[in-house]
Structure 1
Amino acid sequence: MRRKLAGILATAVISAFAAPALANAAPEQDSASAQTQRVDPLGELISTALGGGALPGSVEYKMRATMYHAGAKGIRAFDSLGCKVAAMRTVAVDPKVIPRRTVIFIKETVGLPMPDGGKHDGYWYASDIGGAIKGLKLDLFSGFGAASMKTLRGIDLSSLSVSKVGEFKGCPPQ
C-alpha cells in the first residue's frame, strides 16, 4: 500500500517540481556543497505523507474506541466482508462515518507491539462493522484471547486521532 501511494505521489509531484528544476539546473561544483543546498520537495512530501501517516489535507477525526478479540482458538474470526480478522489491523467502524474498505491511520497506535514482534505503523483496515459502533466510535481487533487486549490498554482509547488514508480491495493483509 505504501509503495503504491508513494508511486502515485511521485508521479504527480515529479512533473511539478523535478522537471523544471532539472531544466534550470546549473552544473554541480562539488557533491558535498550541492547536497547541503539541494531542496527535495518530493522527498519532503512523501516523508510527510508516509512518515506522519495522513495525507496532507486529509481530515483528522477525534474518535473513541473499544477493543474486541476472538476466542483463544480464533474460531469464527471473520469480519463483515467475510475475511479473516487480522490482529492489530482490523477495525470495526460505523460505515456512515468511515466506509468499509477504508485504510485509516491511528496516530496513537504507532510503535505498539505487533503479534509478530514488530512495531505497529499506525495503519488499520476498516473491514468490520458492529451494532454498537455508531458515530465517531471504533472497535479495534486486538487478536486471539483476552490477553491480546493488553497491548491496547496502554493508550487512551477515549480520544484517538484518526485519518482516512486510502482504500483497499479484497481482504485486508494478514
Structure 2
Amino acid sequence: MRRTFAGFLAIAAMSIALPALAADSDSKPDPLGDLIAGALTGTMPGSVEYKMKATLYHAGAKGIRALDSLGCKVVAMRTLAVDKTVIPRRTVVFIKETVGLPMPNGEKHDGYWYASDIGGAIKGNKLDLFSGQGASSMKPLMGLNLSTLSVTKVGEFKGCPPE
C-alpha cells in the first residue's frame, strides 16, 4: 500500500479532531494527537505563547562580548538573551514576527531563535534579539524594537546554537 503525505495529514487531522468530538466528559488525554498537532504547528504539546517586549543588541557596542553566557559565539539573528527564570537557556523559541526578515546571508528568517544569553536588564517577559556586527545590523529588526512579540518554546538544544 502506497502512503502519501496527504494521507498522513488526513490521519493526523482525524486524530486531532476525533477526541474533540467525543461526548464523554471523562475522555483521556491524547498524547499522540498532541504530538501530531505539535509537528504540524511547530510547537511542543502544552506549549504556551508568551507576549514579550523586545529590545535589540549588536556586537561592537560597549560591554557586548562576542560570546554568550554559555561561552558560545553569538549568532546574528539567532542568539536571544532572556530572563532564565522565564525561558531557560538552551531553549529554542519561535517568534512569528521575525519570519521573513532578511538574514545576513540573504535568506529569509524562519522565526527560530536560540536562548543562549542573559542580560542584567532582561527581567521578566523581556528578551533581547542579537542583530549582528555594528549598529547597522539592527536595521532589519528596528521595527521590532520595543514592541511586544509572540514567543513560543519549541524545543531545546545542546552545545552551542547553530551558526
The farther-off stretch of 90-99 and 44-53 is 44-53
1:87 maps to a residue whose letter is A
1:115-169 C-alpha deviation (Å, 9 max, x unpaired): 0110111100000001000000000000001000001013364210001111100
Deviating 4+ runs (over 6 angstroms): 44-47
State the identity %. Answer: 71
Q: How does 1:71-82 map to 2 (within 5 A)?
A: 71=60, 76-82=65-71
Q: Which has the larger radius of gyration?
A: 1
Q: Does the aligned pair in 1 maintain the 2:47–2:152 contact within 8 Å?
A: yes
Q: Look up the match of 2:49.
A: 60
How high is the TM-score relative to the length of structure 1?
A: 0.70
Going by fraction, where is helix more abundant, 1 or 2? Answer: 1
Which runs of no fewer than 5 residues in structure 1 stay unpaired? Answer: 1-26, 29-34
- The match for 2:139 among 150, 154, 167 is 150
Distance in 2 between residues matched to 1:136 and 1:153, nearest whole Å = 19
Structure 1 residue 40: Cα displacement: 3.6
Cα RMSD (Å): 2.9
The answer on 1:168 being equivalent to 2:157 is yes
Which runs of no fewer than 5 residues in structure 2 stay unpaired? Answer: 17-32
How high is the TM-score relative to the length of structure 2?
A: 0.74
Distance in 2 between residues matched to 1:104 and 1:76, nearest whole Å = 22
The aligned length equals: 139
Q: Look up the match of 1:12.
A: none
1:42-91 C-alpha deviation (Å, 9 max, x unpaired): 7x97886456432343100000010000029xx94110010000000000
The answer on 1:39 being equivalent to 2:31 is no
